[in-house]
Amino acid sequence: MTTIASEVKRRRTFAIISHPDAGKTTLTEKLLLFGGAIRLAGTVKGRKSKKFATSDWMELEKQRGISVTSSAMQFSYNDYKVNILDTPGHQDFSEDTYRTLLAADSAVMLIDAAKGVEAQTVKLFEVCSLRGLPVFTFINKLDRFGKDPLELLEEIEKVLGIRSYPMNWPVGMNYDFKGVYDRHRNRLEFFDKQDTQSRKTMSVNEALEQNLITDFHHQTLLSDLELLEIAGDEYDEDQVLQGQLTPVFFGSALNNFGVQTFLEEYLAIAPAPRAYISKSGPVDPVESPFSGFVFKIQANMNPAHRDRIAFLRVCSGKFAKGLSVYHIPTGKTIKLAQPQQFFAQERDVIEEAYPGDIVGVFDPGIFSIGDTVCTRGDIEYSKPPQFAPECFARLVNRDTGKYKQFHKGLHQLIEEGTIQLFKTVGGAEELIVGAVGQLQFDVFSYRLREEYGAQVAFEPIPYQMARWVRSGDRPLDVKKLQVLGVKTAYDSNDQPVVLLEAEYVLRWLQEKNPQVRFLATSCEETFLGIS
């Protein structure tokens, strides 16, 4: 086996999708502890609790005590190299969160046992299913009150439309949690709140003999397992890999319970990097030359240097420090100097990287989201779509003397994908900005001021939804869609869009225009799919 083939085989790259407070930071930290990437619990949390006064994250992040942008971290476990793509863990949601999923080969869906499937999880899950990503579920916080496990499985199926297969099953619930029964290994993993370091596994009989569980626990477990056998889905790895069946694990991240077993099972089942689909077909990760695409641009990671880092997902071939590549959109050759990889809080210059890895490269202002870089000129990945914003405002330049700065900043930040811009049709042209989360507005205005010296204001407007419109092969006169409660506009790629005041307006519009399709993403075709 070639080096590239063996490196690809041992890579696993995933993002954790969850609603805030489900325990993503806690789970990430436990995973990193197993991988030896961090030594102290609390290291990842530090970002939230502002412990890192000297950290070089954006000032805004520090002010608000949150992580504005997502990053990637790598650790080793057994013979695997694991890349965790971190998605912001705050209430405000951004397009970055969605785009991170474009760089993942699988997703871990974290659910709070008491809350079930929550809103942000649903949105992120939809992106995973659009890409056909395998999704592994970890139901967290079993140590305290939670919904009935069967109810949780039903919720996953009803709300998300994916079938599930519990890999383990809780014994005792709601403060009487005794552990989980591993269905494949036929053993009990015992929950000991006093000792969260070691993994205690035993047969059910041993647990009964040692009075760790009662007859009642045993009988309940037997009837639950019988029910799962009769009414539940069968385990089918192919369906897992196609994103049609999610393996479900119960545990408690805070107590480090079930995390190691989850990690091991995940690593054994989850796919190694597969072929990304480019405009000219699937790109074999092993056989093809180096290629990758930019899924995120982070500005000012270090204010002292005012640098911009473009995050590349390596899709094929070997990446080496100082590699000269084609920047496909411009045809220019660029040298990828100072490539960096991220380990928890630190970043290190790296010598080489393989498919599945995330590399941060210095961006001299050339990169946009979705750009392909490749050592040969014939691979190009499609641009990722834009996702329908949910917050809108009219953008006003408050300092007309800084017209040039305003337009330069606006143009560059739109290119970077910080915010979406819509130009209205008919009447005086208005600039309407849209974002998936409110925080993107703050970041946008902060950066316009700090980096370009422009001052902007956001004026409230009544729109709550955006949909891209298509009508088969025939050109569409968007002005015709402009009725009460609807504004028609073009996005920054000149694609027609309608901005709507309420969901019922969309239903009405659809009824009146059955030939028109109203889309929640800017492109219909499968984007950055995997084969």
Binding site for ligand G4P (CB under 6 A): 18, 20-26, 45, 89, 140-141, 143-144, 252-255
CB of 18 to ligand G4P, least distance (A): 5
Q: Which of 247, 39, 26, 16 is nearest to 143 (CA)?
A: 26
Two structure tokens written together for 128: 């995973």
- Spatial separation of the C-alpha atoms in residues 379 and 427, rounded to whole Å: 42
CB of 472 to ligand G4P, least distance (A): 43
Judged by beta carbon, residue 113 or residue 314, the one nearer ligand G4P is: 113
Looking at the DSSP bridge assignments, the partners of residue 138 are 110, 249
CB of 102 to ligand G4P, least distance (A): 21
Q: Are strands 431-435 and 486-491 parallel, antiparallel or unpaired?
A: unpaired
Judge contact between 445 and 406, C-beta under 8 A. Answer: no
Torsion 261-264-269-272 (CA) sign: positive
Judged by beta carbon, residue 45 or residue 51, the one nearer ligand G4P is: 45
Judged by beta carbon, residue 317 or residue 437, the one nearer ligand G4P is: 437
Using DSSP, state whether 104 is helix, strand or coil: coil
CB of 16 to ligand G4P, least distance (A): 8
213 CB contacts (<8 Å, ≥6 apart)?
171, 172, 178, 179, 188, 204, 207
CB of 22 to ligand G4P, least distance (A): 5
Judged by beta carbon, residue 25 or residue 440, the one nearer ligand G4P is: 25
The full DSSP string for 37-74 is S-SSTTTTGGGTTT--TT--S-HHHHHHTS--S--EEE
Judged by beta carbon, residue 179 or residue 339, the one nearer ligand G4P is: 179
CB of 12 to ligand G4P, least distance (A): 21
Judged by beta carbon, residue 25 or residue 316, the one nearer ligand G4P is: 25
Judged by beta carbon, residue 22 or residue 323, the one nearer ligand G4P is: 22
CB of 93 to ligand G4P, least distance (A): 12
Q: Are strands 135-140 and 245-250 parallel, antiparallel or unpaired?
A: parallel
419 CB contacts (<8 Å, ≥6 apart)?
413, 433, 434, 435, 440, 441, 444
Two structure tokens written together for 23: 């325990």
